[in-house]
Amino acid sequence: LRSCSPGRARRTNASRRARLVARFGDIYAQERLDAETLLRTYISDMETVQRIIYIAAVESFHAAKMAYRQFKIRVRETLSLGHSGPESLEDTVLDYIVRHEDLYDVQASVNEVIRSMNINPRISFPPEIDFIVISTLIRELCRVAFSMQTLFPPLDIAFGTDGELFSENKYHRSFDSDFTAALVAYHVWPALMEDDIVIVKGEAVTKR
pLDDT, residue 126, reads: 67
DSSP-assigned beta bridge partners for residue 197: 194
* Averaged pLDDT score across all residues of the chain: 90
Q: Which residue has the higher pLDDT, 46 or 88?
A: 46
Residue 1 pLDDT level (bands cut at 50, 70, 90): very low
Report how far apart, in Å, the C-alpha atoms of 175 and of each of 87, 142, 180, 186, 207 are: 50, 28, 13, 13, 12
Q: What is the pTM of this model?
A: 0.90
Omega before residue 121 within 30° of 0, cis: no
How many Cβ atoms sit within 10 Å of the Cβ of residue 100? 16
Q: pLDDT tens, 101-111?
A: 999 999 999 99
In 84-157, where do the E strands start and end?
155-157
What is the average pLDDT across 149-166?
A: 94
Omega before residue 86 within 30° of 0, cis: yes
pLDDT above 90 as % of the chain: 72
Q: pLDDT tens, 20-42?
A: 999 999 999 999 999 999 999 99
Q: Where are the domains of the chain?
A: 8-154, 158-207
Closest CA to 144 of 72, 75, 203, 64: 64
